[in-house]
């Protein structure tokens, strides 16, 4: 079955009720932390409670300068000054006054984005704002090439604000040629993402942009179920990996994420963005149900085209420790019951071996796609 399948209204109505947290997500978190499942549930409850307190702070006009979960599960909020830090701590959240903070780091990353748009740095796998380390982290797979050297020279100008990590793998969008797939288009393969609607109630599939780059007809079980209408991805051009397809009448996208036999489907209650460090799982047709944590947001990557085409810089992604492989693209990420995004890409040749496989991947945040296309997520 697919991550989020095209189903009829009858099948949707008979779907079993899901527990508060998907059991496999609880087990995966427990294994990764080396704690009991009861402690893992408490960790998820505390994550949710802390993020709700952060949302209340924003309503009170205290937005902070970014927030992230520590390895110990404590949500830490960047404050602009000591006075704001005291207000944040009074709400029950941890705070710090960073040397730089999210706003300054985003400006540095934007300069690198501008440079990469002019000359694609093929030797740079990704660059992102990493709130926990208070740096822009640049991952390098090769220092060769004039564009790569120019990029690293520009990065070095920012001193300690930029951290360079060498020895990384090349990345690629995870759509591969494979016949008889769960979601096919012109002989290619991806995974189904989330369902949403416009203001008139028209139904759409929200997916990775590279899955619908040429606006193809999409098929499920060898039968058409949608037609792509928009994509912000184009090989060789600075891109954003989001796209949508109009769902054909008589079909729908389930409001629960399939788990590939690892328990009941996970009901989708909303799309509140999880903070860095939060637990999440992904459903995709190649590797099934795999779990990990959120790493960073607003990540830029350089994708290598496996068909010999030009490299492509993609911005606006999120990174994670969730393992994915080719064909998982477009598949659904979820944290608790909150939809997070769709698989974009990952390391070339990465192999996953189960729910708790070590690895990494990049996903297109769902909330950004919904906002850009003016859509409302379908929830359970």
Residues recognised as catalytic: 210, 241, 329
291 neighbors 259 (Cβ within 8 angstroms): no
Buried b (16+ CB within 10 A) or exposed e, 185-200: beebbbbbbbbbeeee
The rounded distance, in Å, linking the Cα atoms of 338 and 126 is: 26
Per DSSP, helices labelled H in the chain are: 9-13, 23-33, 37-59, 82-90, 102-118, 146-156, 366-373
The rounded distance, in Å, linking the Cα atoms of 46 and 48 is: 5
22 neighbors 281 (Cβ within 8 angstroms): yes
Q: Which two tokens mark 29?
A: 């978190």
Q: Which two tokens mark 60?
A: 């009170």
Question: How many other CB atoms are there within 10 angstroms of residue 14's CB atom?
Answer: 8
99 neighbors 162 (Cβ within 8 angstroms): no
The rounded distance, in Å, linking the Cα atoms of 296 and 212 is: 25
Q: Angle at CA 334, nearest 5°, toward 52 and 88?
A: 20
119 neighbors 145 (Cβ within 8 angstroms): no
C-alpha distances in Å from residue 279, one per residue of 27, 97, 274, 291: 11, 25, 8, 8
Q: Is 264 exposed, middle or buried (0-12, 13-18, 19+ CB in 10 A)?
A: middle
Instruction: Report the 3 state secondary structure along 34-87.
Output: CCCHHHHHHHHHHHHHHHHHHHHHHHCCCCCCCEEECCCCCEEEECCCHHHHHH
């Amino acid at each position: 079955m697919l991550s989020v399948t095209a189903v009829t209204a009858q099948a949707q109505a008979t779907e079993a009720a899901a527990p508060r947290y998907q059991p496999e997500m609880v087990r995966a978190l427990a294994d990764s932390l080396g704690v009991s499942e009861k402690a893992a549930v408490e960790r998820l409850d505390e994550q949710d409670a802390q993020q709700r307190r952060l949302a209340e702070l924003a309503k009170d006009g205290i937005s902070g300068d970014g927030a992230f979960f520590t390895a110990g599960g404590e949500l830490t909020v960047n404050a602009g000054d000591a006075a704001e830090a005291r207000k944040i701590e009074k709400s029950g959240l941890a705070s710090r006054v960073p040397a730089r903070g999210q706003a300054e780091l985003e400006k540095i990353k934007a300069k690198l984005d501008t440079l990469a748009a002019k000359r694609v740095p093929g030797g740079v796998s990704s660059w992102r704002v990493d709130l926990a380390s208070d740096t822009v982290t640049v991952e390098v797979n090769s220092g060769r090439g004039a564009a790569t050297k120019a990029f690293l020279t520009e990065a070095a100008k920012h001193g300690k604000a930029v951290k360079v990590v060498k020895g990384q793998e090349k990345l690629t969008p995870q759509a591969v040629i494979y016949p008889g797939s769960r979601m096919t288009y012109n002989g290619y393969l991806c995974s189904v993402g989330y369902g949403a609607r416009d203001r008139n109630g028209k139904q759409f599939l929200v997916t990775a942009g590279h899955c619908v780059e040429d606006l193809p007809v999409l098929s499920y079980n060898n039968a058409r179920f949608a037609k792509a209408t928009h994509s912000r991805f184009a090989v060789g051009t600075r891109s954003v990996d989001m796209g949508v397809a109009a769902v054909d009448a008589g079909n729908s996208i389930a409001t629960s994420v399939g788990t590939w036999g690892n328990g009941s489907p996970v009901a989708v209650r909303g799309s509140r963005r999880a903070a860095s460090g939060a637990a999440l799982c992904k459903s995709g047709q190649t590797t099934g149900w795999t779990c990990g944590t959120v790493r960073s947001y607003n990540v830029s990557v350089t994708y290598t085209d496996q068909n010999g085409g030009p490299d492509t810089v993609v911005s606006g992604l999120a990174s994670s420790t969730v393992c994915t492989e080719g064909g998982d693209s477009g598949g659904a990420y979820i944290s608790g019951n909150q939809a997070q995004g769709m698989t974009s890409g990952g390391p070339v040749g990465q192999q996953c071996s189960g729910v708790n496989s070590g690895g990494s991947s990049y996903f297109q945040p769902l909330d950004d796609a919904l906002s850009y296309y003016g859509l409302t997520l379908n929830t359970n």
